[in-house]
Homo-oligomer: A and B are copies of this chain.
Amino acid sequence: MDVDAIIKNLNLKFRNIDGNKLLIAIATDKDKNVLMTAFMSKESLKKTFETGYMHYYSTSRKKLWKKGEESGNVQKVKEIYRDCDGDALLFVVEQTGWACHEGYYSCFHYKLDLENNRIYTVGDKFD
């Protein structure tokens, strides 16, 4: 697999995000549940393509990270989609365990109740 050729062919638009050249990555499971969104550098995209497991870029730690490297909650890539303007990729993944470091299956576990200005958590807590 010529990863550089693939990335070139993808015609991606890396944005300047907190001082880094990054893409937006969205991960869903096969049932289309949105698990998380995070950023990808070109290097993390290469690692993802090469290994078949999601690698992101942390703007706070300023480095590439393999999702689940410490927790074991890895994400195996099954399908990949690019959006029309090329600044975002959608990954359908096989999630081991749960996605959120707060112990929930999805990072989007805070539901807004606009009428009452309330936020409440939804979904089971695994950890």
Contact = CB atoms under 8 A, between A and B. Distances in A.
A61 interface: no
B84 A1 contact: no
Contacts of A65: none
A27 to B, nearest CB: 10
Interface residues of A, number: 46
Given A1-B115, A32-B34, A117-B6, A108 B79 contact: no
A26 B15 contact: no
Interface of A: 1-2, 5-6, 9-10, 15-19, 24, 26, 28, 31-34, 36-37, 49, 59, 79-85, 88, 90, 100-102, 104, 107-112, 114-115, 117, 119, 122
